[in-house]
Amino acid sequence: MEIMLARQPIFNRDMELFAYELLYRNYRSGGSTDKAMVSDGNQATSSVIIDVLTNLGLETVTAGKPAFINFTEDMILGDYATLFPTQSVVIEVLEDVVPSNELVQRCAELRQAGYILALDDFVFTGRHMALIQQANIIKMDFMNTDDVQLERIVKLFAPRGVKFLAEKVETQEEFQKALKWGYSYFQGYFFSKPTLLSSPELAPTRLNLIRLMSETNKGDFEYADMSRVVMQDMGLTVKFLRLLNYVIPHSQKGDIATIRQGMVLMGINSFRKWLYLMAMKDFAQDLPDELTSRALICARFCELIAPSFGFNSEECFMVGLFFLGETITRMPMEDFLKDIAVSSQVKNALLYDEGPLVAVLHLCNYYMNGDWDMMEPLLERHKLTPERVTNTYLRAMQWGDALLEEINQATRL
């Protein structure tokens, strides 16, 4: 895969380089430097973060200057900005973000932690006041905003300590107006078009990403087991070691002698976030949302219904999660399961449609497909009512929707 990322410089009033805005570019479309077709903001942000932190390298991309990066509501609430050191990133809150109490509180926490927040493509309404109080910078679109508003907004909020960035500045006249009105930072084609950064990517295997995500969600995960998976995959090893440069305090870097030590110092929460971003970038490019949703709901349904069959809930979860393994990895189920530590009962159900666990998988599939005639004998055999199955499926759907919202299709399983 080819890494494609665009950057556009941002200048201060003395025309000194202040920062770069990092822009997502499509991998398949040829990566136009001027624009990108973004159908999923979360996936676009995850691609930028992974390319900067673990592929190209932050120092290579920004030369020590802060990086302005767009963050959706999901990505802010998911705490993905904290993968960056505070001084290296400006969190751009997108214009379509709804300023909920939860979001405003998280922005306040990020600012208190030392992060800089910018409101992107800002249009003032009363409901944005809570976000404005947390913002360090407000970006104003000089192409699509009238002069009266561009001047008025600075007079209104600059006394509160907010700085303003004039974006999409395309002429000398616009630049002079922005200077006169008190803007602090400037960005646009008048100064520089976005330039494309590209490089071949040493991609990890999709199977190893799935294995690691499965491990991190276990209550009894082992760092030693996860480190072995990383070390067996050159792409994962290189990306992980690059990431450590940014998430481990400088004073501790000399203590890292093994992948396992790096994981322990990084912490399971940060490691899990990184995996989700990796998976989001990898899977989201070619798997439809319906496929992702189906596997997650099936996994949770099988887990919840397992006690009614007298089965192990974790085994049933795995059966539901991996029943689309061939589609996800584009490899035979036998090869997919070969290196995943699951029980023989799970393998028999997935490989041969045999053994006791197939009952929960069949029940899930029958319900999803509306195959009531096939489902009825199963219900009678295990003394289950249609109401119980429906309620269980609704709970599974709610869980799946909540998970997709939290990590924005990051698992794509």
How much of the chain is in helix, strand and coil states, percent to nearest 5? 55, 10, 30
Rounded distance, CA 18 to CA 16, Å? 6
pLDDT of residue 167: 92
Helix 358-369 to helix 289-309 angle (10° resolution) is 130
Give the pLDDT mean for 353-376.
89
Sign of the Cα torsion 28, 29, 31, 36 reads negative
318 in Cβ contact with 308 (< 8 Å): no
Calpha distance 60→295 (Å, rounded): 38
Question: In whole angstroms, what is the distance from residue 282 CA to residue 201 CA?
Answer: 12
From 197, 200, 195, 170, select the one nearest 33 (Cα to Cα).
Answer: 195
- Whether the per-residue pLDDT at 36 is higher than 80: the answer is no
pLDDT at 402: 67
**Strands 89-93 and 185-186: what pairing?**
unpaired
Q: How far apart are CA 382 and CA 385, in angstroms?
A: 9
Q: Is the pLDDT of residue 28 over 50?
A: no
The tokens for 218 are 């276990």
Q: How far is CA 328 from CA 198, 206, 226, 264, 301, in A?
A: 27, 9, 21, 30, 20
The string of pLDDT tens digits covering residues 195-246 is 776 655 545 566 677 677 767 766 667 777 788 777 766 567 767 777 776 6
Instruction: Give pTM, 2 decimals.
Output: 0.55
pLDDT of residue 413: 35
Close Cβ partners of 411 (under 8 Å, ≥ 6 residues apart):
213, 276, 279, 283, 292, 296, 403
Average pLDDT value for residue range 76-105 = 87
Place of tokens 């208190």: 112
Secondary structure element (H or E) that encloses residue 388, with its range: helix 386-407
Residues 171-190, mean pLDDT to the nearest whole number: 92
Rg (CA), the chain: 24
Q: Which of 351, 352, 353, 358 is nearest to 306 (CA)?
A: 358
DSSP character for 86?
G
Per-residue pLDDT, 408: 45
The pLDDT assigned to 163 comes to 95
Nearest of 324, 268, 273, 269 to residue 296 by alpha carbon:
324
Q: Residue 121: which region, alpha, beta or left (left: phi > 0; alpha: psi -120 to 50)?
A: left
Q: Of 87-91, 225-229, 365-369, give the lowest mean pLDDT range.
A: 225-229
Average pLDDT over every residue of 51-57: 74
* Parallel/antiparallel/unpaired status of strands 89-93 and 116-119: parallel
Q: State the pLDDT at residue 178.
A: 93
- Do 360 and 316 meet the contact criterion of CB atoms below 8 Å apart? yes
Asked whether the predicted pLDDT for residue 30 surpasses 60, the reply is no
Average pLDDT over residues 153-170: 91
DSSP for 342-383, please give it.
Answer: --HHHHHHHHHS-STTHHHHHHHHHHHHT-HHHHHHHHHHTT
Distance CA 374, CA 93 (A): 49
- Is the CA virtual torsion 376, 380, 386, 389 positive or negative? negative
- Please tell me the least confidently modeled range out of 132-141, 271-280, 342-351, 354-363: 271-280
- What Å distances lie between residue 355 and 309, 311, 358, 359, 361, CA to CA? 13, 12, 6, 8, 11
User: Which residues in 25-111 belong to E strands, given as ranges?
Assistant: 67-71, 89-93
Q: Is 24 helix (H, G, I), strand (E, B) or coil?
A: strand
In whole angstroms, give the CA distance from residue 84 to residue 402. 25
CA distance 7 to 1: 19
Top mean-pLDDT range of 13-27, 205-219, 321-335: 13-27
For residue 101, the 8-state DSSP code is: H
Integer Cα distance of 330 and 341 in angstroms: 19
